[in-house]
Amino acid sequence: MSTPVPSSHDADQGWRPGSWRERPTAQQPDWPDLDALEAECKVLSGLPPLVFAGEARLLTGALARAAAGKAFLLQAGDCAESFAEFSADAIRDKLRVILQMAVVLTYGAGVPVVKLGRIAGQFAKPRSAPTERVGNLELPAFRGHIVHDDAPTLEARRPDPARLVAAYHQAASTLNLLRAFTKGGFADLSQVHNWNREFVAASPEGRRYEAIASEIDRALAFMTACGIDLEREAGLHQVDFWTSHEALLLPWEEALTRRDSLTGDYYDCSAHLVWLGERTRALDGGHVEFLSGVHNPLAVKLGPSATPAEALALAKRLNPRRIPGRLTFVTRMGAESISSRLPPLLRAVREAGEPVLWVCDPMHGNTFTAPDGRKTRSFEAVMAEIAGFFAAHRAVGTWPGGVHVELTGDDVTECLGGGADIGEDQLALRYTTTCDPRLNASQSLDLAFRVAELLRAGD
Ligand code: PEP
Ligand code: CO
């Protein structure tokens, strides 16, 4: 081990990986045994980091290009990763639909796409109420498998700190497989046809995708015929795929925070990017304190109540040196509110000269409960929020820098509408999410085609 050099940044004075503990910290589970929690965190702090600080710096660079209007961010994955549905097939299928979306966006709009998964650590959930009613039982609300099981019993909902270490191991093997797939041939552009699964190939979106895949094949054949040695072009055979999750459960994030021996700076080595949710972005709270001192690229969700003053204060606190790529704002206003709520934020941030990347989460402001009690979202509302996001940026003159979506590679029936026009009476057919409703593979592809059109419309 080399001796760490002192941190280069004055802003770090007074900050420690555990300084968040001196602040009010929202959305933490009611741990029944704090000694047991600390014992598990001690185990975690001795385990290898999941990501390397140098990778986080590369992602900051990629996000800086997106903030400058030269790339587009696609951030996507589960609402909550499940301990129960953890398999190689599920990881491959999720990666595959994200790669397909990226191809549609890159080919359709001609912009480089930064691919960032909500994966390999997206285990903890904030809740709007601390308890929920199931039948006659009043239970602690489900906070993700990193905390407890989702079964509707008091016993299952008891927070179990051993799950923190289990989550680490699941994140490590998920990341290992993602690295293998993205660097080992699966993500090779010659595979564009193979990514189109049968049920997707049979849908209108799948057929549209096939047409793009054939054009890419022809373009590659053309370049080969011109004498270009495609074997040597690494960008055609591998992709950079980054990981992210909400930094909600701070004992876990703290235990995985390490000092980088090259720079002396602290990084949260649980993921390349970590974000704060709408419920944990209080300026004087523990979450903002924690994120202010780690050098990863960061994101913060902004809902319809966010004011320009709050956005500016967050930018000042989390990115005082105005490093491009350091800070992303993910807006989730709801289709109804976006045209009134977003432009004032865009103007204020631009006028202050903050180098923020703006991304649209069209999911979390458009959730409602269907008559059968299931949470759902309509594909048309999701698309309406994205269209409103592009319109607001075009009006203000800022760059609509990306989308943040909840999806799965499986053929689920959790969101309404889309190509197969899923109706409320079909939700029960394949509704498997442990938290929020996700787009299925063909809805995700449809979304990518429509976003590519919106990007092209701005040329
Ligand atoms: C989420 O991303 O799953 C989430 C809870 O989002 P938000 O904080 O925007 O509500
Ligand atoms: Co969600």
pLDDT at residue 331 greater than cutoff 70: yes
| Domains of the chain, first to last | 33-187+238-457 (3.20.20.70)
pLDDT of the residue at 156: 98
pLDDT by residue (tens digit) across 286-311?
999 999 999 999 999 999 999 999 99
437 touches ligand 1 (CB under 6 Å): no
Give the pLDDT mean for 234-261: 97
d(CA 143, CA 41): 18
Q: What is the pLDDT of residues 355-400, one digit of tens each?
A: 999 999 999 999 999 999 999 999 999 999 999 999 999 999 999 9
Residue 12 pLDDT > 70, yes or no?
no
User: pLDDT class for 231, splitting at 50, 70, 90?
Assistant: very high
Say which residue, 178 or 458, is predicted with more confidence: 178
Mean pLDDT, residues 178-198 taken together = 90
Q: Is 362 in the pocket of ligand 1 (CB under 6 A)?
A: no
| Mean of pLDDT values over 414-425 | 93
> Does residue 166 register a pLDDT over 50?
yes
Q: Give the per-residue pLDDT at 201.
A: 77
The residue-averaged pLDDT of 52-65 equals 98
The per-residue pLDDT for 1 is 37
Predicted pLDDT at 6: 44
Q: What angle do CA 386, 391, 397 make, to 5 degrees?
A: 125
Between 459 and 154, the higher pLDDT residue: 154
Output the average pLDDT for the chain: 94
Report the pLDDT averaged over residues 54-73: 98
- Quote the Cα angle for 434-440-441, to 5°: 135
**pLDDT band at 419; cut points 50, 70, 90:** confident
What value, to the nearest 5°, has the Cα angle with vertex 250 and ends 248 and 252? 105
* Atom 10, ligand 1: residue with shortest CA distance: 278
Question: Is 206's C-beta closer than 6 angstroms to any atom of ligand 1?
Answer: no
Q: Does 332 sit in the ligand 1 pocket, CB within 6 Å?
A: yes
Q: Span 421-438, mean pLDDT?
A: 95
Q: Tell me the average pLDDT across 402-416.
A: 96
Parallel, antiparallel or unpaired: strands 266-268 and 257-259: antiparallel
Residue 328's DSSP bridge partners are 299, 357
Determine how many CB atoms are found less than 10 A away from the CB of residue 459.
Answer: 7
Using the predicted structure, report yes or no on whether residue 10 has a pLDDT greater than 80: no
Task: Note the pLDDT of residue 7.
Answer: 46
pLDDT band at 200 (very low <50, low <70, confident <90, very high): confident
How does pLDDT run across 73-82, given as a tens digit for each residue?
Answer: 999 999 999 9
364 Cα: distance to centroid of ligand 1 (angstroms): 6
Angle between helices 308-318 and 286-293 (to 10 degrees): 40
Shortest-distance atom of ligand 1 to CA 118: 2
**Which atom from ligand 1 is nearest to the alpha carbon of 79?**
3
Geometric angle at alpha carbon 66, from 258 and 215, rounded to 5°: 120
pLDDT band at 422 (very low <50, low <70, confident <90, very high): very high
Q: What is the 3-state secondary structure (H, E, C) of the chain?
A: CCCCCCCCCHHHCCCCCCHHHHCCCCCCCCCCCHHHHHHHHHHHHCCCCCCCHHHHHHHHHHHHHHHCCCCEEEEEECCCCCCCCCCHHHHHHHHHHHHHHHHHHHHHHCCCEEEEEECCCCCCCCCCCCEEEECCEEEECCCCCCCCCCCCCCCCCCCCCHHHHHHHHHHHHHHHHHHHHHHCCCCCHHHCCCCCCHHHHCCHHHHHHHHHHHHHHHHHHHHHHCCCCHHHCHHHHCCCEEEEEECCCHHHHHHCEEECCCCCCEEECCCCEEEECCCCCCCCCHHHHHHHHCCCCEEEEECCCCCHHHHHHHHHHHCCCCCCCCEEEEECCCCCCHHHHHHHHHHHHHHHCCCCEEEECCCCCCCEECCCCCEECEHHHHHHHHHHHHHHHHHHCCCCCEEEEEECCCCCCCCEECCCCECHHHCCCCCCCCCCCCECHHHHHHHHHHHHHHHHHCC
Contact present, 370 and 422 (Cβ < 8 Å):
no
Q: Please give the pLDDT value at position 132.
A: 93
Give me ligand 2 centre to Cα 329, in Å: 16
Ligand 1 pocket, residue 364 CB under 6 Å = yes
Query: pLDDT at position 13, please?
Result: 65
Q: Is 118 in the pocket of ligand 1 (CB under 6 A)?
A: no
Token match 């949710």: residue? 277
CA of residue 216 to ligand 1 center, whole Å: 36
Q: Which atom of ligand 1 is nearest to the CA of 301?
A: 9
Structure tokens at 11: 């802003």
User: Are 273 and 244 spatial neighbours (Cβ–Cβ below 8 Å)?
Assistant: yes
Please report how the helices 34-45 and 162-183 are oriented relative to each other, as an axis angle in degrees rounded to 10.
Answer: 30
- d(C-alpha 364, C-alpha 359), whole Å: 13
CB of 301 shorter than 6 A to ligand 1: yes
